Structure 1
Amino acid sequence: MTSRLLVLTRTADYRHDSIPAAVAAVRDLSRHPVEHTEDPAALEGDLDDCAAVVFLSTSGEVLTPAGRTRLAAYVDGGGGFVGVHAAACTEYGWPYYGDLLGARFARHPDLQPGRVLVEDGDHPATRHLPGVWEFTDEWYDFRSNPRSGARVLLRADETSYTGGGMGADHPLAWCRDQAGGRVFYTALGHTAEAYDDPAFREHLRGGIAWAAAR
């Protein structure tokens, strides 16, 4: 059986205009067939044939109780999970999800250029990047720092933009193990233009491939 990449873009809160461009980019980048859905029932069925489940700029409460149970069993049983950008603004009412992702969104300053610092260049999502990467995004702040439970890959240089709220240690992308599964998250990807950026596309491709490599 060919493994699929299940991509959920359901939004119950803010909806990003970049979602169509993001889905198109994932289709281009994935080596697995992509099933894109906005239907929470898609997470209630058998996920064992999924290479990874991707929450792509989801927001709010997007899963049913049955979907929550199924997703937790899938990841804990060895599945891959990828969160992109507003995936950190998702499922605030489900404690497991916060632990799975590693941190939850708190706030962001205005969209603006800034600098991304590569903390760990020995990962498929970062090995192509320069040590300092100029990018434009929303520079998400998080309610807690994920570092204690995750391998931080990228962090923000808050001196390069205005309105940062986490200080010198401001993770932007990380990966972690969740029981038997793998989790990758990147806070980047607010704009549609990001999904045409070769460096960001490779960052996304590498993160998905890592999470899907059981």
Structure 2
Amino acid sequence: MKHILIAFVALAMVSCRTSDAAKTPDKILVFTKTAGFRHKSIETAVKTIEALGMQNNFEITHTEDALLFTTQNLKHYKLVIFLNTTGDILNTDEEQAFEVYIKNGGSFMGIHSATDTEYEWAWYGKLVGAYFLNHPQQATATITRVDGKHLSTKHLPEHWVRYDEWYNFKSINQDINVLLNLEESTYEGGQNGENHPIAWYHEFDGGRSFYTGLGHTNQSYDEPEFQQHLLGGILYCLKR
């Protein structure tokens, strides 16, 4: 009987430790440094991701300080999000630290102008999946859901009509897995043709990468469909 009681207590202690571990939120670094155009939606976007974190057991550190990009500091985060970043925002040492982070299994998520970032850093271009080329005026357009099984898209209709700023891309990484395709026949100014990816994911150099070209406007971050799209990308990167 005594042995049974000891085993029961031990099992209960393990169960408590497992439960406590499950409650520990994943840590995400949200980086919004800009060296070019600065989106007015950044502050709204950060608040939206914070709210998603409170509901889904992750917590964010929001920063524009590139000095946080050290090998030691990045170990604390399961995901780094480049949220509407622009231009050259990391120096050589910081770039190297980020490469080590990804190679050690870290995850990256880019939102909207993350593709308008670090044009001289070829590794980053492959990680994010493409570079921004240009964009026409903001407009309503139709997006076709290419992959309906991914966490970021399974809630979306087959044809999603919404208003945003639609990027044209260059140097598209052929290894990306396209989630959403922008239908250029539904708006003016598209330059990528019938195959115009606007959201994608892939595994790259040891880590995971997710990108969405949506998210220019403040209103985007109030849309339930877009919020769920972001959350699905985050959960994919967190390997949940």
Q: Note if 1:21 corresponds to 2:44.
A: yes
Q: Note if 1:52 corresponds to 2:79.
A: yes
d(CA) in 2 for partners of 1:56 and 1:145? 19
List 4+ stretches of structure 1 deviating above 6 A. Answer: none
The higher-RCO structure (CA 8 Å, 6+ apart) is: 1
Q: Note if 1:129 corresponds to 2:152.
A: no
Cα offset, 1:62, TM superposition: 0.7
Q: Note if 1:108 corresponds to 2:131.
A: no
Stretches of structure 2 lacking an aligned partner (at least 5 in a row): 1-23
Q: Note if 1:149 corresponds to 2:172.
A: no
Q: Tell me the residue number matched to 1:4.
A: 27
Q: What are the superposed Cα offsets for residues 42-82 of structure 1, whole Å, 9 maximum, x if unpaired?
A: 11242122120000000001112221011111111111100
Relative to structure 1, the CA distance from residue 194 to residue 2 in structure 2 (aligned partners, 3 Å threshold; closer, same or farther) is closer
Is 2:198–2:212's contact at 8 Å kept on the other side of the alignment?
yes
d(CA) in 2 for partners of 1:42 and 1:162? 41
Q: Tell me the residue number matched to 1:183.
A: 209
Cα offset, 1:2, TM superposition: 5.0
Give 3-state SS (helix, strand or coil) of 1:72's partner.
helix
Stretches of structure 1 lacking an aligned partner (at least 5 in a row): none
Is 1:51–1:213's contact at 8 Å kept on the other side of the alignment?
no
Q: Percent identity?
A: 41
Q: Note if 1:70 corresponds to 2:97.
A: yes
Is 2:200–2:212's contact at 8 Å kept on the other side of the alignment?
yes
d(CA) in 2 for partners of 1:199 and 1:111? 19
Relative to structure 1, the CA distance from residue 128 to residue 2 in structure 2 (aligned partners, 3 Å threshold; closer, same or farther) is closer
Is 1:138–1:190's contact at 8 Å kept on the other side of the alignment?
yes
d(CA) in 2 for partners of 1:67 and 1:197? 34
From 40, 46, 55, the counterpart of 2:66 = 40
RMSD over aligned CA atoms reads 1.2
d(CA) in 1 for partners of 2:26 and 2:46? 18
From 227, 230, 238, the counterpart of 1:204 = 230
Cα offset, 1:105, TM superposition: 0.5
TM-score normalised by length of structure 1: 0.96
d(CA) in 1 for partners of 2:129 and 2:25? 30
TM-score normalised by length of structure 2: 0.86
d(CA) in 1 for partners of 2:35 and 2:172? 25
Q: Tell me the residue number matched to 1:97.
A: 124
Is 1:175–1:183's contact at 8 Å kept on the other side of the alignment?
yes
Cα offset, 1:10, TM superposition: 0.3
Give 3-state SS (helix, strand or coil) of 1:13's partner.
coil
Q: What are the superposed Cα offsets for residues 88-115 of structure 1, whole Å, 9 maximum, x if unpaired?
A: 0001111110011111110111001111
